[in-house]
């Protein structure tokens, strides 16, 4: 199957999942109250995240054909996303400053003068276009990795905490082993061995990232196991798997959400570091910043590329961090203030 | 002789969804010298916050917004922070519900008491230690010499509470605020602590403000009783008056539902419903929603105090109606 | 105590064996020595050349133990070499790895030790200050600034500092290293600045949470009730209890000081272990990379044992049994 069809399908599935989540949250008094509070506290940050999400979604829906007969003949026969279609024929030959009419070095006239909001890069690509496309890459890295790491952590952490014994020993040993290797080095080693595809990088990030949450999930399960209603369920003869699914897992959901959000920003920042080391994901903001090493030493300086990528990265991470903070304050019982 | 502590219109608020919530709502309270005043109510009614407000120890984001707390001719609420610190522990001391967590886990208990002594008296470390030993003996800690160097986790709950009491007594305060001092302890230990408090009060002549929801302890220890409901004190009277002739429907319900005081063999009556949460506290009588004697005015305005005996009053519209019909002053 | 130490050490050895197994799977089975040879020599070399390369680099034995080869196999060799610190030669340029590590250790430490000290000395007082003013605007401002600082990628700090301080203001050299102590200070200024800036947001926020958690405890309320001043409470009651979570973070960071900083070293031209690792990444030098991972986890396991022992010193509730 063509890549863009898979991508469209994934977007569809994600949207359906999101809708189901919203319905679920609205049904539950506890969750809808919590989210209303976060909405009130972090309206701005949530709107910014929604903006990034929208851009990423628009860049994920792609199809072939339907392009006007432009200069770029190849593009007509490839799948083009909505974002791609907005920037058709925006290619120049080299650097140009934001909204400039001429090339930055040499001063040759541009194909489309004044149309490049954030200028163009070394090979003449529109920087605004590249920055928008980075949103999809960032969300893909954060989302895909979390989707791998969190279930993995639950799969190992919850049974280990619940059943204890030999199983717990094994899981705990595996966690100690993975945690003892320096995170960044392990990440690099995995990527070098597994290759530099997006999936491999996300997998490597997941392998290094799941241990932290696994430890939390295990600890919380240990606590929940001792609670009276779990003992009561066990005394009533409810099966172990049912207790795990009905009583333990739902009580870990708030930790899952907090972890997801807090992990997300860490992952996107890690990818930027990997890009810097030359093993990042293609098209990420990290790669744009990586290029800036040479651009800032040019004379006169090419600043718009790094500024655009840096601002885009900062905006996403900052809003996610703010929302993550609010989520932790609201959902984590340890910080809930006592009324009396 | 004037009262030791006189509280007027004390109001403490916590931020809520729609503005500040008065967890302690304009309360008056008087503690005489040498008496034990019990402040009674269900959990969540603001008893502990009242106590902490007196000490100006309301946890953030709570705030004392109005009132006066007069002790020895000075308003504690207006004292500079430094002078207030000299009051804490020295004039007014406090013990808490949770002896398990109220002592610093990484400091030896003797050192914690020594710290309390040396905060208020300029004595040498060894003098303070000797005094601490004395105090340990007074509060009935067996083998006090060895306990001085123990860490809190090495002591039982009852012993920890005794250490807390020793610490509270270290500067010979005029008033001891005991916030649920026995709730977290085993029943047998509870009785011991109650007896100890009683004994110490008689020996030193200090006043005690006893905060509790346990009517058994109130009956044993207190001289007078103040009953609190949803942020407000709704009835005050001497212990015999309250237990014999409670006037407020809430106090009556509270007494009826107590197993110790109930008639054997009968089903224990209960007060219908639950304490409303601060968000839904009304500007009328807050007990109205659960009250069997509710009538028109109860939902409209705040009931004022009606005297029903010597130093015995209750805030209830039904009482106000009776007394005006009867033509009493 | 002794029994505890023995048990703890045994577990640590177990973890190191686990790490070595993981590294073997990664670097010998997922990527076989043949793959490594091809990466070093190119895709289209005759098998004989590959065999020759493998023999030169000590990869010429069967991977797993079999009859008659219980010790003559890569798995055994891998464990033997690593455990005896016989790291062999680099896959890429044939230099002895042990020698490179020895030469890289000092430059790394000259960067990381001051960085570590400076970070602690700035972050902990700032966090105490912010925690002292909890629930005021100073606190809220402190948290917002921390989150802002955390949200900037370290890459931007590096680029920004190098551009502004090094190129516009000409205060310090942009990169380089020297063994002359007087010059070192000038070369280290910029990476130290970047390192402290990049870490301070997260550090202040972490320490603030720890201090706040301790200042909301019942025993702090007791201390206030007996008339303790806020300063004394912070210094005597809160700080002493905070030592337990603080120690975990601090002691566990110490082993990594030896490993250097990948980004700072490679970018500012400091020839430490971090820079060596980055070279290894760029040169597909698997042998150096796996040695670095191994040394890192050795140091981590050691640090963890020290941390556990230190709990017994600061927390009277902990008994090492």
* ipTM value: 0.87
Give the tens place of pLDDT for each residue, A199-244.
899 999 999 889 988 988 898 888 888 888 888 888 888 888 888 8
Chain B residue with the nearest C-alpha to that of C212: B60
Interface contact A317-C147, CB threshold 8 A: no
Query: Which has the closest alpha carbon to A138: A3, A257, A288, A38?
Result: A288
| CA C307 – CA C247 distance, rounded (Å) | 7
Give the tens place of pLDDT for each residue, B83-117.
999 999 899 999 998 888 899 999 999 999 999 99
Interface contact C222-B90, CB threshold 8 A: no
CA atoms within a 13 Å half-sphere pointing along the CA-CB vector of B157? 16
Q: How far is B18 from chain A (nearest CA, A)?
A: 13
| CA B215 – CA B42 distance, rounded (Å) | 11
Kindly list the residues of chain B whose beta carbon comes within 8 Å of any beta carbon in chain A.
14, 23, 43-44, 46, 48-49, 59, 61, 278
Give me the pLDDT at residue B261, please. Answer: 65
Would you place residue C68 in the very low, low, confident or very high pLDDT band (cuts 50, 70, 90)? confident
Strand order in the sheet with B5-16: B19-31, B5-16, B63-71, B74-75
Q: Is the pLDDT of residue A338 over 60?
A: no
Q: Is the pLDDT of residue A321 over 50?
A: yes
Q: Is the pLDDT of residue B329 over 50?
A: no
Q: Is C289 in the B-facing interface, judged by CB distances under 8 Å?
A: no
Contact residues on chain B for C219, CB-CB shorter than 8 A: 101-105
CB-CB contact of A145 with A206 (8 Å): yes
Q: Which of C135, C219, C225 comes nearest B89 by C-beta?
A: C225
Would you call B9 helix, strand, or coil by DSSP?
strand
| CA A94 – CA A108 distance, rounded (Å) | 10
- pLDDT average, residue stretch B248-260: 84
Rounded to 5°, the CA angle A163-A169-A173 comes to: 135
- pLDDT average, residue stretch A157-178: 91
Q: Is the pLDDT of residue B163 over 90?
A: yes
- pLDDT average, residue stretch B155-178: 92
Contact residues on chain A for B61, CB-CB shorter than 8 A: 337
Contact residues on chain B for C139, CB-CB shorter than 8 A: none
Please give the model's pTM, rounded to 2 decimal places. Answer: 0.82
| CA A85 – CA A75 distance, rounded (Å) | 9
Interface contact A182-C286, CB threshold 8 A: no
Question: What is the percent of chain C where pLDDT is above 90?
Answer: 19
Rounded to 5°, the CA angle C88-C305-A187 comes to: 50
Q: What is the mean pLDDT of chain B?
A: 87
Q: Is the pLDDT of residue A333 over 60?
A: no
- pLDDT average, residue stretch C130-159: 88
Q: Which of C30, C151, C155 comes nearest A193 by C-beta?
A: C30
Chain A residue with the nearest C-alpha to that of C273: A185
- All partners of chain C with 3 or more CB pairs under 8 angstroms: A, B
Contact residues on chain A for B44, CB-CB shorter than 8 A: 339-340
Angle, helices A43-58/A127-163, rounded to nearest 10 degrees:
110
The answer to which of A279-293, B18-32, B283-297 has the lowest mean pLDDT is B283-297
C-alpha pair distances (Å), A31 with each of A257, A325, C54: 11, 17, 60
Q: Is the pLDDT of residue C272 over 80?
A: yes
Q: Which two tokens stand for residue C293?
A: 């991972």
Query: Which has the closest alpha carbon to C155: B209, A292, A173?
Result: A292
Interface contact B104-C223, CB threshold 8 A: yes
Contact residues on chain A for B14, CB-CB shorter than 8 A: 339
Q: How far is C239 from chain B (nearest CA, A)?
A: 11
Give me the pLDDT at residue A6, please. Answer: 78
Interface contact B46-A340, CB threshold 8 A: yes
Q: What is the mean pLDDT of chain A?
A: 83
Would you call A64 helix, strand, or coil by DSSP?
strand
Give the tens place of pLDDT for each residue, A297-316.
777 778 888 889 999 999 99
Angle, helices C273-282/C97-132, rounded to nearest 10 degrees:
120
CA atoms within a 13 Å half-sphere pointing along the CA-CB vector of A112? 16
Q: Is B151 in the C-facing interface, judged by CB distances under 8 Å?
A: yes
Give the tens place of pLDDT for each residue, B201-241.
999 999 999 999 888 889 889 999 999 998 899 999 999 99
Q: Is C136 in the B-facing interface, judged by CB distances under 8 Å?
A: no
Q: What is the mean pLDDT of chain C?
A: 85
Q: Is the pLDDT of residue B1 over 80?
A: no
| CA B77 – CA B58 distance, rounded (Å) | 12
Give me the pLDDT at residue B327, please. Answer: 36
Interface contact C286-A192, CB threshold 8 A: yes
- All partners of chain A with 3 or more CB pairs under 8 angstroms: B, C
Q: Which two tokens stand for residue C192?
A: 């130290």
- pLDDT average, residue stretch B279-300: 82
Structural domains for chain A: 128-314 (1.10.3720.10)
| CA B77 – CA B68 distance, rounded (Å) | 6
Interface contact C259-A190, CB threshold 8 A: no
Q: Which two tokens stand for residue A334?
A: 């340890």
């Amino acid at each position: 199957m063509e890549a863009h069809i898979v991508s469209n399908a994934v977007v569809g599935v994600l949207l359906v999942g999101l809708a189901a989540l919203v319905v679920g949250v609205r049904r539950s008094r506890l969750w809808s109250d919590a989210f209303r509070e976060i909405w009130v506290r972090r309206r701005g940050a949530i709107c910014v995240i929604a903006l990034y999400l929208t851009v990423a979604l628009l860049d994920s829906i792609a199809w072939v054909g339907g392009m006007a007969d432009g200069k770029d003949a190849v593009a007509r026969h490839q799948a083009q996303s909505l974002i791609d279609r907005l920037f058709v024929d925006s290619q120049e030959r080299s650097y140009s400053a934001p909204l400039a009419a001429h090339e930055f070095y040499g001063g040759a006239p541009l194909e489309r003068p004044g149309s490049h909001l954030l200028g163009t890069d070394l090979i003449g690509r529109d920087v605004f276009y590249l920055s928008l496309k980075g949103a999809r890459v960032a969300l893909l890295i954060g989302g895909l990795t979390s989707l791998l790491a969190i279930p993995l952590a639950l799969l190992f952490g919850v049974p280990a905490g619940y059943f204890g014994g030999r199983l717990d020993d094994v899981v705990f040993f595996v966690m100690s082993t993975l945690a003892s290797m320096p995170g960044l080095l392990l990440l690099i080693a995995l990527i070098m061995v597994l290759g530099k595809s997006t999936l491999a990088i996300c997998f490597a990030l997941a392998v290094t990232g799941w241990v932290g949450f696994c430890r939390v999930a295990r600890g919380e399960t240990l606590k929940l196991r001792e609670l009276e209603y779990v003992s009561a369920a066990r005394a009533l003869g409810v099966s172990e798997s049912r207790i795990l699914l009905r009583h333990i897992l739902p009580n870990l959901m708030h930790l899952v959400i907090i972890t997801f959000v807090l992990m997300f920003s860490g992952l996107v920042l890690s990818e930027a570091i990997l890009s810097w080391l030359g093993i990042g994901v293609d098209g990420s903001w990290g790669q744009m910043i990586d290029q800036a090493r040479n651009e800032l030493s040019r004379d006169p300086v090419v600043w718009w590329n790094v500024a655009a990528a840096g601002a885009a990265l900062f905006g996403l991470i900052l809003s996610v961090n703010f929302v993550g903070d609010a989520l932790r304050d609201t959902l984590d019982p340890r910080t809930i203030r006592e009324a009396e | 002789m004037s009262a030791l502590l006189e509280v007027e219109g004390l109001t403490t608020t916590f931020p809520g969804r729609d503005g500040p919530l008065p967890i302690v709502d304009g309360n008056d309270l008087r503690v005489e010298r040498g008496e034990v005043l019990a402040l009674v109510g269900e959990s969540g009614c603001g008893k502990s916050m009242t106590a902490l407000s007196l000490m100006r120890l309301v946890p953030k984001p709570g705030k004392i917004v109005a009132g006066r707390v007069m002790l020895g001719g000075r308003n504690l609420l207006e004292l500079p922070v430094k002078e207030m610190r000299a009051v804490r522990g020295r004039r007014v001391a406090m013990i808490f519900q949770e002896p398990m967590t109220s002592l610093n886990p990484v400091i030896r208990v003797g050192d914690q008491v020594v710290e309390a002594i040396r905060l208020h008296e300029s004595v040498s470390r060894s003098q303070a230690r000797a005094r601490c030993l004395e105090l340990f003996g007074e509060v009935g800690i067996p083998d006090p010499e060895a306990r001085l160097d123990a860490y809190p986790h090495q002591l039982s709950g009852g012993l920890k509470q005794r250490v807390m009491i020793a610490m509270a007594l270290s500067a010979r305060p005029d008033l001891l605020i005991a916030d649920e001092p026995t709730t977290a302890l085993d029943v047998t230990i509870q009785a011991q602590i109650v007896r100890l408090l009683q004994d110490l009060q008689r020996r030193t002549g200090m006043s005690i403000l006893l905060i509790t929801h346990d009517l058994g302890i109130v009956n044993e220890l207190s001289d007078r009783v103040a009953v609190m409901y949803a942020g407000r004190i709704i009835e005050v009277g001497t212990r015999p008056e309250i237990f014999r002739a409670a006037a407020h429907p809430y106090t009556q319900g509270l007494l009826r539902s107590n197993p110790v005081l109930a008639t054997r063999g009968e089903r224990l009556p209960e007060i219908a419903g639950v304490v409303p949460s601060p968000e839904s506290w009304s500007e009328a009588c807050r007990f109205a929603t659960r009250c069997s004697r509710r009538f028109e005015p109860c939902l409209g305005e705040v009931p004022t105090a009606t005297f029903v005996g010597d130093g015995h009053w209750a805030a209830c519209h039904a009482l106000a109606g009776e007394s005006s019909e009867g033509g009493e002053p | 105590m002794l029994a505890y130490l023995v048990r703890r050490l045994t577990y640590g050895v177990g973890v190191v064996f686990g790490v070595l197994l993981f590294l073997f799977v990664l670097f010998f089975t997922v990527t076989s020595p043949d793959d490594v040879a091809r990466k070093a020599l190119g895709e289209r070399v005759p098998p004989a050349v590959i065999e020759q390369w493998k023999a030169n680099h000590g990869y010429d034995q069967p991977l797993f133990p079999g009859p008659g080869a219980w010790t003559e196999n890569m798995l055994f060799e891998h464990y033997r070499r690593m455990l005896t610190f016989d790291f062999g030669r680099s896959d890429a340029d044939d230099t002895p790895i042990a020698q490179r590590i020895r030469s890289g250790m000092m430059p790394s430490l000259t960067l990381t030790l001051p960085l570590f000290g400076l970070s602690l000395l700035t972050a902990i007082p700032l966090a105490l200050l912010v925690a002292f003013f909890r629930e005021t605007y100073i606190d809220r401002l402190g948290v917002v600034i921390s989150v802002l600082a955390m949200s900037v990628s370290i890459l931007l700090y590096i680029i920004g500092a190098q551009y502004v301080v090094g190129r516009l203001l000409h205060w310090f050299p942009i990169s380089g290293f020297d063994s002359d102590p007087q010059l070192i200070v000038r070369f280290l200024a910029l990476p130290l600045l970047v390192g402290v800036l990049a870490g301070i947001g997260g550090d202040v926020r972490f320490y603030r949470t720890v201090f706040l958690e301790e200042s909301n405890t019942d025993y702090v309320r007791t201390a206030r009730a007996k008339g303790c001043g806020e300063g004394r409470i912070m210094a005597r009651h809160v700080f002493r209890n905070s030592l337990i979570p603080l120690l975990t973070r601090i002691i566990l960071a110490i082993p990594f000081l030896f490993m250097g900083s990948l980004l700072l070293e490679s970018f500012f031209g400091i020839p430490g272990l971090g820079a060596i690792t980055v070279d290894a990444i760029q040169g597909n030098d698997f042998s150096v990379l796996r040695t670095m991972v191994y040394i890192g986890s050795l140091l981590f396991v050691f640090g963890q044992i020290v941390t556990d022992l230190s709990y017994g010193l600061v927390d009277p509730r902990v008994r090492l049994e």
